[in-house]
Chain A
Amino acid sequence: GQQVMQIPQYQHVQEGEDFTTYCNSSTTLSNIQWYKQRPGGHPVFLIQLVKSGEVKKQKRLTFQFGEAKKNSSLHITATQTTDVGTYFCAGQGDMRFGAGTRLTVKP
């Protein structure tokens, strides 16, 4: 079945540095969703990408969907301590998540 791989597993940055997490699928996805889970909390929906090559922005967050619709990335510009958490991607509506990238930010 479909498998979504996510890298890196962990990322520790200094506040103000940029951060990127990548999601790769073994199969073509109809869409991809990104979620954020704060420590001790539950996942919260961030965005869905549907179109090949799509780029969406939410303030300091930039989401991209690859041309082949097999990969996606989430880029955070100038991280803040409020960005701390684990970022997950999920593909295709069957709601299987990638392993997630745990982001920690040093003030």
Chain B
Amino acid sequence: GAVVSQHPSWVICKSGTSVKIECRSLDFQATTMFWYRQFPKQSLMLMATSNEGSKATYEQGVEKDKFLINHASLTLSTLTVTSAHPEDSSFYICSAQGSGNYGYTFGSGTRLTVV
């Protein structure tokens, strides 16, 4: 089956620093990946659609200069939270669609805490 690996699973960083989150499709190629953030007891909010070899498409209200997305290969997309602040603390999760599977597979998520 389709497996998406996301790292790190949790990270604590200081205010003002940057954090990179990786999302890898392990057994399939993913032309498109999706990045979400989820606050406690809330739904997943789509942040951006990551497209291999081209610029990501950001949702309205998401700062593209703050949340840098790079999809350099068919198996890897990265989300970098730049100059992180406490309000960026959240659960970040990626997803991709594997071939032969109608559904989307999610990574295990990254819990970011900015102190």
Contacts and interface: CB of A to CB of B under 8 A. Distances in A.
B104 A97 contact: no
Interface in A10-67: 31, 33, 35, 41-48
Interface in B19-57: 34, 36, 41-44, 46, 49
Contacts of A96: 46
A42 B96 CA distance: 13
Given A88-B44, A99-B43, A33 B93 contact: no
A9 to B, nearest CB: 10
A97 B44 contact: yes
B106 A95 contact: no
A98 interface: yes
B102 A42 contact: no
B98 to A, nearest CB: 10
B103 interface: yes
A41 B101 CA distance: 21
Interface in A67-107: 88, 90, 94-100, 102
B46 A33 contact: no
Given A95-B34, A95-B95, A43 B102 contact: no
Given A45-B104, A95-B34, A100-B43, 16 more contacts: A33-B102, A33-B104, A35-B103, A41-B108, A42-B93, A42-B106, A43-B44, A43-B93, A43-B106, A45-B105, A48-B103, A95-B46, A97-B43, A98-B43, A99-B43, A102-B41
- Nearest 5 CB-CB pairs, A to B? A45-B103, A48-B102, A42-B106, A99-B43, A100-B43
